Structure 1
């Protein structure tokens, strides 16, 4: 009996492997399609410093337009961030909550800007030990004039107005400059207070009593009506399902995320570093974040 050449077995094995792969791919595709046909709860995550709002806003809008999504869970694990992006996410959450139930699930930290974006939600869950609150605004300034004098360097500034170089690290602030910058901080703080009062349906005067930058545990925040319930992410998902009219355990629907190329990542990292450097050098970016040492 003539033996079958080895290469025949290799080719046959290759064809068999390809066929099995194709069959498994088709089964997986139909399985996913069947899973995605049903209604579910959307999930958007906000992690880390809030330096930009575009991706989160896009995800919220995508879930708002998706007919399968009956409610949305916003998972917040953030110490806060820059004022404007926090406000943009806040406004998008508020708009979405007008059409679908939005349930916030706070992770280990949802303070300052992290709380700001949570305030307009339909319902807020926190863990008992979640660090939250910190309703306040700060502006960090650095002065290196003494160091410059020691090493013999002099700096000169030409400007078009009295306040154009306010916050310069090369000289102390004047009393007039302190007044101008404080007015900016006070304005941003008032906006924060009004947003919390409106979102949580609490009188403005009551919010002002605790809007002194203090951080709170999730348990304390519940007592002050800043959060509604104590519970986990899974608790929030299940409650969102109930609010959305879904029977049984809801499936979680995640919005498509932007695919980032290597160039995108490099540009994004560079932008973050530039933003942080500018904040450190000028100190003129008002930010929603808790006091140093908390995060």
Structure 2
């Protein structure tokens, strides 16, 4: 009986030990996951230490709420001592460019901001760059294409060929015009031209103000032309030639410690680490399908297919706008 009682006591002690180690293991796992999540998100939410924030603006520009909120978080983060806005964009919607321009100007009112041009900063992409207090571009970067344009297709010939006729009743002649389903009248062209020229005047006024150029000087470079970084420097569209080190050099001149780490603030809009969408995205990335899809969209113009409003974008897909 004594041996049996001892066995029971030993089993209870063993269960208590197992319970302790299980709880300890679970706690260690939670801490490890938390540490990994903190490490994975360190360049998205800041580091908790003084640093230079870097934000990438790439591809076709539209009104991006997440990016606007990210810029505002950078503005409010006391650990951000300076900002590099890295740009590689052919432009996009004029309204999208305007929203980002205003967000960057608000940020620049509180922290030194420098724009670093990668391959391309054209049209609305240049509009965004001009919001910074310094623009750095590579010698071979493409800069410019200052202008606004609206394009729309005319499919009336195709409709005639297939025997389709569009009927409609509208309240006034200019309602829903211009339309791809009817030839454009001079009155309609005049309406669209007034729309385009009003935005163009706003655009060149913005460039003149930010670059310290007269209207005459701006008009000389605002005919839609594009320039290399070297040519843009001659025309005062950029301030210096170089890369990130040149951008940091300018920040240092504004009192920012050049030894601070440059931390990229990325989008926080992502699925949970182990969610089906996240796992599918990871698998696609491992197989290279994410790059394939992006490349296919760019080649076919699908990445700009649903842009609305006035466009400020260099080399648009046919029928979309510039």
TM-score range, shorter chain: 0.7 to 0.9
The number of aligned residues is 266
If you compute each CA radius of gyration, which structure gives the higher value, 1 or 2? 2
Query: Which residue of the partner structure matches residue 3 of structure 1?
Result: none
Task: Say which is worse superposed, 168-177 or 253-262, in terms of deviation.
Answer: 253-262
Query: Which residue of the partner structure matches residue 212 of structure 2?
Result: 201
Q: TM-score, normalised by structure 1?
A: 0.80
Q: Is the 8 A contact 1:102 1:122 kept in 2?
A: yes
- Structure 2 gaps, min length 5: 1-17, 272-276, 282-296
Query: Which residue of the partner structure matches residue 94 of structure 1?
Result: 105
- 1:246 CA displacement: 3.5
The 1-side partners of 2:101 and 2:307 are apart by 25
Q: Equivalent residue of 1:171, what SS?
A: coil
- 1:257 CA displacement: 2.4
Question: Which digits, 9 at most, give the CA deviation of each residue in 1:91-144, with x for residues without a partner?
Answer: 111121121111000010110000001112111000011111000111111101
- Structure 1 gaps, min length 5: 1-10, 280-284
Q: For the structure 1 residues 278 and 95, does the alpha-carbon distance in structure 2 shift closer, same or farther, using more than 3 Å as the test? A: closer
- 1:234 CA displacement: 3.6
- 1:237 CA displacement: 3.4
Query: Which residue of the partner structure matches residue 261 of structure 2?
Result: 251
Query: Which residue of the partner structure matches residue 36 of structure 1?
Result: 47
Q: Is the 8 A contact 1:40 1:68 kept in 2?
A: yes
Task: Say which is worse superposed, 204-213 or 109-118, in terms of deviation.
Answer: 204-213
Query: Which residue of the partner structure matches residue 290 of structure 1?
Result: 314
- 1:252 CA displacement: 1.8
Q: Equivalent residue of 1:185, what SS?
A: helix
- 1:277 CA displacement: 4.5
1:158 equivalent to 2:177? Answer no
Q: TM-score, normalised by structure 2?
A: 0.73
- 1:273 CA displacement: 6.9
TM-align CA RMSD: 3.4
1:132 equivalent to 2:143? Answer yes
The 2-side partners of 1:209 and 1:250 are apart by 40
